[in-house]
Structure 1
Amino acid sequence: MTLKSLMLGACSTLALASVAQAQSTTLTIATVNNGDMIRMQSLTDDFTSKNPDIQLQWVTLEENVLRERVTTDIATKGGQYDVMTIGNYEVPIWAKQGWLLPLDNLGDNYKVDDLLPSIRSGLTYEGKLYAAPFYGESAMIMYRTDLFEKAGLTMPEDPSWEFIADAARKITDRDNNISGICLRGKAGWGENMAFLTALTNSFGGRWFDENWQPQFDQPEWKEALQFYVDLMKDAGPSGASSNGFNENLTLFQQGQCGMWMDATVAASFVSDPDNSTVADKVGYAIFPSKEGVDNNGNWLWSWNLAVPAGSSKAEAAQKFIAWATSQEYTELVADKEGWAAVPPGTRTSLYENEEYLKEPFAQPTLNAIQAANITEPSVKPVPYTGGQFVAIPEFQGLGTTVGQLFSAALAGQSSVDDALAQAQQVSVREMTRAGYIK
């Protein structure tokens, strides 16, 4: 071969490479900084190897920051992201406003009918799927079986808050840096207010009555919030008002919490011997109820992948979403890291898999999800849906404001009575301004 032909061949190769590079698509993906999402990022070579024309750029953010950024971007049509990680709170609201594209091109092998009905329904608007669930969750108790045994305690099948409070105080060991209970205290509608709304639901309370009148001046909220503040003072960790999901997960993994009530998705992390010092000492139970109130207050949540209407890369975005939320992705995680690590709570087939059901948290997770009733979150009638949130657009701002007031009460910066009075005042003002209260 002549030098000329070699040079022509090299030029042709470079030209082809330039064309391929020019034709490649880069997806910018906004996601939350939790363990399952971080794991997904580590496995995306599987996707890019199958789709060499698609490159991925990640924007990984803390939960409150993620919500703020994606909400601002989609509301202002900023176009920064091609795939957004959003919750089942946002999906139907944003779909109604025309801010999301329907996921109508996930491929023939996606198996939409395999999605758990309760999860799928929360992501559907006017018969169309507007987001695909990466994982689903409810809430449950995770507790140290060794500490319960040492204290002579047995976790009931359906525990009451009265039992939980007594147990938390008994297993608290300040000398050995063990708090009896860890609960969310960080301000945010999806942080402390997720827990506190579920707690108050289980006490028989509600955010609004049938006429959208705020209920923070009612006895159920006073009893629930006072119970929470007193319990955290007696048996919670120091600095609890700054602790959200990730902070409490770390405390539990390090053996510094006797009990933790939070998202069922945490179970795979607290039972992981590579990251949890108490992996072989964890038991699971359903979210508590108050004695005399027939309501466990279970929440229902899913982190989902959606395509904003402003994206010009919808086809590539749906390819990625189909990969990340498929049965095949579940099998990829199981192959790489074991069945305990797969994203839970989205597909019926996962809870029919005998290998997965061997995990001690698998059935309790499904039980918690199935126990959630977002259409009747309280024993009293309400004009809204949502377990740990109120499914109206105004809740995002209002929930965070109330969360800040309650976080301050937990930190001792205000009294419970003052926090509730301010929550009532701001809620009445905002609901009147929005037209719910005439």
Structure 2
Amino acid sequence: MKLNTLFLGLCGASALAFAAHAETITIATVNNGDMVRMQKLTDDFTAKNPDIQLEWVTLEENVLRERVTTDIATKGGQYDVVTIGNYEVPIWAKQQWLLPLDKLGADYDVDDILPSIRGGISLDGKLYAAPFYGESAMIMYRKDLMEKAGLTMPEKPTWEFIADAARKMTDRAADINGICLRGKAGWGENMALLTAMSNSFGASWFDEKWQPQFDQPEWKNTLQFYVDLMKDAGPQGASSNGFNENLTLFGQGKCGMWIDATVAASKLSDPKESSVSDKIGFAIFPDTGNGNHGNWLWSWNLAVPASSQKGEAAQKFVSWATSKGYTELVASKEGWVSAPPGTRTSLYNSEDYKKAAAFAGPTLAAMDAADITKPSVKPVPYTGGQFVAIPEFQGLGTTVGQLFSAALAGQSSVDDALAGAQTAAVREMTRAGYIK
């Protein structure tokens, strides 16, 4: 008995000593559903990697961007894994702020990543982030409300059709808004939608000489259309609504249509998450007849800051969280409908996934339709789709987003908001040296 007790005591002491020497990596991530699910499933990772402990910092999207950008630019070393978009990856890689991901493991299968997604997170042939999920944008709509309004969603809807349908589907007495669109200020919130929308209206942020274009009629048409539509058919307080708020509204049955990230479809199609899961249809992002369907292509990715002192352990986590094995883990725990979309070819070749996810085809079609090398109808000197791929866009986009959100809230006119955007853009582009 004494020997057994001694043995157990030694084992306990060894376990405590091992835990004390375990390496802790800090992960900064966004508070959306897929990332929250990842946190819940990380027992699988720690069981396979008992020498690595995980510490989470989960933040609202705008706050996450601000803190991560500050930390990585100052080489603070606060985070070992950061959640960033395909906007930041090539810019930060050029600044040598990110480690190349060259220790993901022999079975990671980099070639399985969708080419459009892989290209946006690589620099000079090297991968600098790994995609957790990818997305384009599309229309999600209530088929029952569309039918009740006496309408049929076209194969290639125009904004004119969407506006007419939204107004006809609105029922204030029943608390049903014909359309829900982002209004919360931020370069990755309302300006993601409005930049993509402006592309479909033929607008652009800059001309070929980097002159801002907010004083042009295409932007006036975009913003006036948006403000009028949201006033007539949108929810109250729309200027405070971002992705998560609209996801909740649609899931509660309070939106006839929602035009936003394709990744939302998995949540809305899950009866545990959505009261209208059996009533949803999908369609391509609208245009104005010019063939530009709001070229939106985004991925949330996991990257390792160059300032991290735990790069090898961090890459082990990144490899686990973005692998085909993780996709299968989610499918086994939550069902195929919840698998992270838009990153791997193998997912869209899976018969199980295609059978479970009615949105799989529309999502892939939306992503294939996006051409971020030609975001606008007009020739432009930048790439990006729903963002402009220059370092200055993060600050400038948020400034413009605040002006446009104020116009939506009725705190300023559309003309004043556009004039303010033009002034801010000219000032910033001159300061940064784009305009000589």
What TM-score comes out, normalization by structure 1 length?
A: 0.98
In the TM superposition, residue 286 of structure 1 has moved relative to its aligned partner by: 0.2
SS in 2 for 1:209: coil
Q: Aligned partner of 1:23: which letter?
A: H
Q: Which residue of 1 aligns with 2:343?
A: 346
Partner residue of 2:247 out of 246, 249, 252: 249
Q: Which runs of 5+ in 2 are unaligned?
A: none
Q: Which residue of 2 aligns with 1:324?
A: 321
SS in 2 for 1:279: coil
Q: Aligned partner of 1:343: which letter?
A: P
Q: Which residue of 2 aligns with 1:258?
A: 256
In the TM superposition, residue 8 of structure 1 has moved relative to its aligned partner by: 5.5
Q: Distance in 1 between matches of 2:299 and 2:77?
A: 24
1:187-232 per-residue CA deviation (whole Å, 9 max, x = no partner) reads: 0000000000000000001000000000000000000000000000
1:55-91 per-residue CA deviation (whole Å, 9 max, x = no partner) reads: 1111100000000010011011111111000000000
Q: Distance in 2 between matches of 1:140 and 1:154?
A: 16
1:289-328 counterparts in 2 under 5 A?
289-291=287-289, 293-328=290-325
1:241-286 per-residue CA deviation (whole Å, 9 max, x = no partner) reads: 0000000000000000000000000001111111111110000000
Q: Which residue of 2 aligns with 1:369?
A: 367
Q: Distance in 1 between matches of 2:30 and 2:16?
A: 34
1:78-110 per-residue CA deviation (whole Å, 9 max, x = no partner) reads: 111110000000000000001000000000000
Q: Which moved more, 1:407-416 or 1:11-20?
A: 11-20
SS in 2 for 1:280: coil
Q: Which residue of 2 aligns with 1:46?
A: 44
Q: Distance in 2 between matches of 1:177 and 1:65?
A: 31
1:313-349 per-residue CA deviation (whole Å, 9 max, x = no partner) reads: 1111111110100001101111111110000000011
Q: Which residue of 1 aligns with 2:32?
A: 34
Q: Aligned partner of 2:341: which letter?
A: P
In the TM superposition, residue 19 of structure 1 has moved relative to its aligned partner by: 3.2
Alignment size in residue pairs: 435
SS in 2 for 1:319: helix
1:141-164 per-residue CA deviation (whole Å, 9 max, x = no partner) reads: 000000011111000000000000
Q: Distance in 2 between matches of 1:226 and 1:351?
A: 38
Q: Aligned partner of 1:423: which letter?
A: A
Partner residue of 2:404 out of 403, 406, 411: 406
Q: Which runs of 5+ in 1 are unaligned?
A: none
Q: Which residue of 1 aligns with 2:395?
A: 397
1:348-388 per-residue CA deviation (whole Å, 9 max, x = no partner) reads: 11111111112210000000000001000011001001000
SS in 2 for 1:166: helix
SS in 2 for 1:91: helix
Q: Aligned partner of 1:198: which letter?
A: A
Q: Which residue of 1 aligns with 2:354?
A: 357
Q: Which residue of 1 aligns with 2:203?
A: 205
Q: Distance in 2 between matches of 1:43 and 1:14?
A: 26
1:153-172 counterparts in 2 under 5 A?
153-172=151-170
Q: Does 1:67 align with 2:81?
A: no
Q: Distance in 1 between matches of 2:202 and 2:245?
A: 29
Q: Distance in 2 between matches of 1:365 and 1:393?
A: 29
Q: Does 1:275 align with 2:267?
A: no
Q: Distance in 1 between matches of 2:299 and 2:127?
A: 14
1:28-61 per-residue CA deviation (whole Å, 9 max, x = no partner) reads: 1000000000111111111111111111111100
Q: Which residue of 1 aligns with 2:143?
A: 145
Q: Which moved more, 1:9-18 or 1:346-355?
A: 9-18
SS in 1 for 2:263: helix
SS in 2 for 1:283: strand
Q: Distance in 1 between matches of 2:415 and 2:235?
A: 23
What TM-score comes out, normalization by structure 2 length?
A: 0.98
Q: CA RMSD in A?
A: 1.1
Partner residue of 2:103 out of 95, 99, 105: 105
1:391-436 per-residue CA deviation (whole Å, 9 max, x = no partner) reads: 0000000000000000000000000000000000010000000000
Q: Distance in 2 between matches of 1:410 and 1:191?
A: 14
